[in-house]
Amino acid sequence: MPQIEVKLKDRAYPVIIGGGQIKHLAAFLKKHAPDSRVFVFYDARFYALHRPTVKRALKLPRARLFELALPPGEKTKSLTHAKKIYDILLGEKITRSDFILACGGGVICDLVGYVAATLLRGIPWATVPTTLLAMVDAAIGGKTGVNHGRGKNLIGAFWQPKFVLCDPRFLNTLPPRQMVCGLGEIVKYAGLTGYKILPQLKKYLEKSDFYNERMLTRMIESNVAYKAGLVAEDERDEGKRRFLNFGHTFAHAIENAAGYGRLLHGEAVILGVATAVEAGILRKPESERYFKEYSALINDMMNLAPRRRLELDKIMTAMAWDKKRNTQRARFVLLSRLGKPFITDDLDKNIVKKALSKMLSKYQTGGGQYA
């Protein structure tokens, strides 16, 4: 069975990847929850389409199985929903010998993982990520949490799952815009890893078949292998794991400036990565030659994001500037060349402005395929 290990000593776990691999769910549960009750939380959209497949794969008697579907969307990632789940699980007299399973995208993985991390000081859990974004990023590495009125992911915990099972066959029913969101994270990984993921992504996009299982499986494997390595080295996000923020400082400001929900996170990440590459080149113009192929690919990918009115000044305002130093308080991840990320908190405001305006000139002449 194809799997990649997240090597965290006593908390090491496998990420199983492959079309049809859901059939192994019962075997993994048997290992980690031999006699326990299993509390399964689904994204409601996924539940409507795939519950019979998951239920068959669980192979659990009724007395040991509890299932609940949660509303899709970012609003579900809240303390309100966490409390609802606490109430239900405590009502069922859950114990630390029971097991929690999250089947959904980033929202469900983060929320259910957070409940698992905090209830009774930690209940074992696992995830079946069901979106491309969750398979390549959100479900790997044990970051769990909910949003707060003051910002996203402000409440959370590191709580590693016992296993992650990615079955790309579930992606067949994922809407194209959600696929694009996953591709936003994949193009980020392409920049971070250099010539490993870039050719895979290029070939996949040339084929113009978003749902090609073989190609998706390979890309998911490459992304997970890279992320698993970073997490094993820096579980708590104090060093190299921060490379995964490549493009994100810009993406958050772009998302914000577009207006709530007008651009999805992964779509904004494509524009954020494009801006980060431009900023790296403006900082060191001689590095431009390293980015020809990558920049061309990103420019093409910007066409996959819906066209939205984006104003430079609004994006600049959405970034938290340190007025005294005229630099960004948040750290930027840039590339000195493909596959060579570095972190800086010293990026000149003029470079940021120029990089954004270069990105916008390309986005506004393209953009709009899945509006």
Q: Which residues bind ligand GLY (CB under 6 A)?
A: 137, 141, 143, 237, 241, 244
Report the nearest approach of ligand GLY to the CB of residue 237 (Å). 6
Cα separation, 294 vs 117, whole angstroms: 39
* Coil vs helix vs strand at 5: strand
Closer by beta carbon to ligand GLY, 100 or else 244: 244
Cα separation, 51 vs 61, whole angstroms: 16
Closer by beta carbon to ligand GLY, 50 or else 143: 143
Report the nearest approach of ligand GLY to the CB of residue 137 (Å). 5
- Per DSSP, helices labelled H in the chain are 25-32, 44-58, 79-91, 106-118, 132-133, 176-193, 197-207, 213-233, 248-258, 265-283, 292-302, 312-318, 349-365
Closer by beta carbon to ligand GLY, 47 or else 159: 159
In the chain, the N- to C-terminal Cα span, in Å, equals 38
Report the nearest approach of ligand GLY to the CB of residue 366 (Å). 27
Report the nearest approach of ligand GLY to the CB of residue 312 (Å). 27
**Nearest by Cα to 283 from 357, 362, 359, 355:** 355
Report the nearest approach of ligand GLY to the CB of residue 140 (Å). 7
Residue 331: how many CB atoms within 10 A of its CB? 15
Closer by beta carbon to ligand GLY, 113 or else 141: 141
Report the nearest approach of ligand GLY to the CB of residue 324 (Å). 30
Q: Which residue's Cβ has the minimum distance to ligand GLY?
A: 244
Cα separation, 132 vs 135, whole angstroms: 5
Sheet of 13-17, strands arranged across? 3-6, 13-17, 164-166, 125-129, 99-104, 38-43, 65-70
Rounded to the nearest 10 degrees, how much is the dihedral formed by the CA atoms of 195, 196, 201, 206?
60
Closer by beta carbon to ligand GLY, 77 or else 143: 143
Report the nearest approach of ligand GLY to the CB of residue 313 (Å). 29
Report the nearest approach of ligand GLY to the CB of residue 141 (Å). 4
For residue 361, which amino acid is it?
S
Closer by beta carbon to ligand GLY, 66 or else 246: 246
Closer by beta carbon to ligand GLY, 137 or else 255: 137
**Nearest by Cα to 111 from 73, 141, 66:** 73
Cα separation, 265 vs 188, whole angstroms: 13
Closer by beta carbon to ligand GLY, 81 or else 143: 143
Report the nearest approach of ligand GLY to the CB of residue 241 (Å). 5
Buried b (16+ CB within 10 A) or exposed e, 133-166: bbbbbbbbbbbbbbbeeeeeeebbebbbbbbbbb
Closer by beta carbon to ligand GLY, 29 or else 139: 139
